[in-house]
Homo-oligomer: A and B are copies of this chain.
Amino acid sequence: MSKTYTVLNELLVELFNDILMIEQQALRSKDFNDLSITEIHTIEAIGMYGDKTMSEVAEKLNITVGTLTVAVNNLEKKGYVERRRSEEDRRIVYVHLTNKGKLAYRMHEKFHSAMINEVVEGLTDEEEKILISSLEKLNNFFKQRLKKIGGDV
């Protein structure tokens, strides 16, 4: 038990650190090296299809709308996203990806799929199942935690 704990803990901690670093480095070396991780995640949250309001995107990213405003200003300046004021309700601002933004989106998606593919490739069916169910458990644990301490606010 105690040994399992130590091993698992170290594995998980390392995993998180590595993924963060890899995403960062993947960005630096490729095209789109004028994008930070945060910006890629903003692009991800805006998504490929249709427009999203500022509030929707901010909620998805768990940041304030003020923070998002700044982020979108910069992304707009660099040509990855565009704003559009709603005609029906002129308080609302919609954002969507430009073609350049969509390219960046796909690139990041590709990185993710390469990562997953390579992981799954090395696993047997049994290992695959265990991995998925363990990650699900981990996820449930976190969801519960989030509810307890105050949820999405």
Listed in ascending order, the chain A residues whose CB lies under 8 Å from chain B are 1, 4-5, 7-9, 11-19, 21-22, 25-26, 29, 62, 112-123, 126-128, 130-143, 145-146, 149-150
Contact at A139–B5, with CB atoms within 8 Å?
A: no
Task: Report the copy number of this chain in the oligomer.
Answer: 2
State the majority secondary structure of interface residues on A.
Answer: helix
**Bound Cα distance from A118 to B25, whole angstroms:** 32
Contact at B123–A137, with CB atoms within 8 Å?
A: yes
Question: Do A149 and B118 form a contact, CB below 8 Å, given A113-B9, A127-B130, A135-B15?
Answer: no
Contact at A5–B137, with CB atoms within 8 Å?
A: no
Contact at A139–B15, with CB atoms within 8 Å?
A: yes
Beyond A5-B120, A131-B135, list 12 extra A-B contacts (CB 8 Å).
A4-B116, A4-B120, A18-B145, A25-B150, A26-B149, A114-B141, A119-B137, A119-B138, A123-B134, A127-B134, A127-B137, A130-B130
